[in-house]
Amino acid sequence: MKGVIFCEFLEMVEDQHSYDVVDAILVKANFEHKGAYTAIDNYPAEEMMTLIANLEELTNQKPQIILESLGHRLFNFFRRDYPHFFHSDQHPFTFLTHIESYIHVEVKKLYPTAELPTFTTINQTENTLVLKYQSERKLYHLAKGLIEALLKFYKYEGNVQLDVDAINPEICLITIDIL
């Protein structure tokens, strides 16, 4: 997992709480690198799970809420650092249905080792889009946060609903309704 995500996560925890909480979850985690994350390096994804679990223990914050918040913060980071991906006159569904064919293609160019979830369009009407999310990381809540932030950015109001596949937890249907 890219170091930038750890950096953004830790900054978010510091913003929401304080550096004490950041320090606490890092100490508790007791990683060999002592929590010295740099945005341009890569780290095991399990470390993120440990940090979120530590945070939940410390603050009683639900992991899905933490991930959704992280999605929002990451979207803002992306928009700020990679503005050419976001055209102001675009419909959010257009963006979403092109994640695989456009965004992820570009991401792979920059970070060939990046491990990315797959998004498949299951159904699309004028106001509803159903996407299938699949990843062994099961970070669909992170995706939800990102999508909500996207809708907000494009000034659409709507609901994002998750339905995790009962048999395969790596799959989750994301239904986006625009009001």
Partner 1 sequence: MSNELDILKRRLERETLARKRAEKILDEKSLELYTSNQKLSQLNKDLQTKVQEGIRQQFLKEEEYKQLIENASDIIYKADKTGNFSFVNKTTLHRLGYDEAELIGKNYTELIPESYVDSVRQFYLDCIQNKEKRSYYEFPIRTKAGEIIWLGQNVQIHFTSDEDFYVDAVARDISDRKAAQEQLLKTQKRLSTLIQNLQSAVLLEDENRNIALVNKKFYAFFNIPSNETLLGTSCNNTAGGFKHHFVEEEQFVKRVNELIEKKEVATDEILILKDGRTFSRDFIPIFEDEKYLGSLWQFKDISDKKNAELQIALSEEKYRSIIENMELGLLEVDNNGLIVRAYDTFCKQVGYTAEELIGKDPQKLFLANPNDGELIDKQQSERFQKKTGVYEVQMLTKDKSKLWVLISGAPIINRYGEVEGSLGIHFDITQRKKMEDELAKAKEKAELGRKAEQAFLANMSHEIRTPLNAVIGMVHLLLDTNPSDEQLHYLKSLQHASQILQGLINDILDISKIEAGKLEYTESEIDLHSLIHSLQRTFELKIESKLITVESKVDEKINTLVKSDYILLNQILFNLLGNAEKFTEEGKIGLAARAIEKNHDYYLIEFSVYDTGIGINHDRLTNVFDKFTQANSETSIKYGGTGLGLAITKKIVEFLNGNIKIESEPNKGTTITITLKLSNTNESLNNQKTAISKRLNLEGKQINDILIAEDNQMNINYLNSMLSSYNLNYEFALNGKEAVAKAREKAYDLILMDFQMPEMNGIDATIEIRSTHNLNTETPIIALTAAALVNDKEKAFTVGMDDFLSKPFTPEQLLQKMLLFGNISKKGEETITKENTNNKADRIYPSELDVEYLYDFYEDDYSYFNMMLELFAESTPTEIIDLQKAIEQKNLLEAYTICHRIKPTFPMVGITAISPLLEEFEQNAKDNNSNAYKIYPKLKEALNLWLSKIEKIRKDQG
Residue 151: C-alpha distances to residues 105, 148, 154 (Å): 22, 5, 5
Cβ closer to partner 1: 42 or 121? 42
| Binding range to partner 1, per CB under 8 A, among 22-30, 55-63, 112-120, 157-165 | 22-30
Enumerate residues 37-56 that contact partner 1 by CB under 8 A.
Answer: 37-41
Looking at residue 42, the DSSP 8-state letter turns out to be B
- Min dist. Cβ of residue 171 to partner 1 (A): 35
- Exactly one of 1, 11, 12, 23 binds partner 1 (CB under 8 A); which one? 23
- How many chain residues bind partner 1 (CB under 8 A)? 14
| Strands 171-178 and 128-134, sheet pairing | antiparallel
Cβ closer to partner 1: 39 or 65? 39
Enumerate residues 1-20 that contact partner 1 by CB under 8 A.
Answer: 19-20
- Exactly one of 35, 79, 107, 152 binds partner 1 (CB under 8 A); which one? 35
| Tokens linked to 121 | 């369009």
Instruction: Quote the CA–CA distance of 6 and 82 in Å, as a whole number.
Output: 18
Amino acid identity for residue 42 in this structure: N
Instruction: Report which of 28, 84, 34 is spatially closest to residue 52, judged by C-alpha positions.
Output: 28
| Binding range to partner 1, per CB under 8 A, among 33-41, 101-109, 158-166, 171-179 | 33-41
Q: Please tell me whether residue 114 binds partner 1 under the rule CB under 8 A.
A: no
Binding stretches for partner 1 (CB under 8 A)? 19-20, 23, 26-27, 33-41
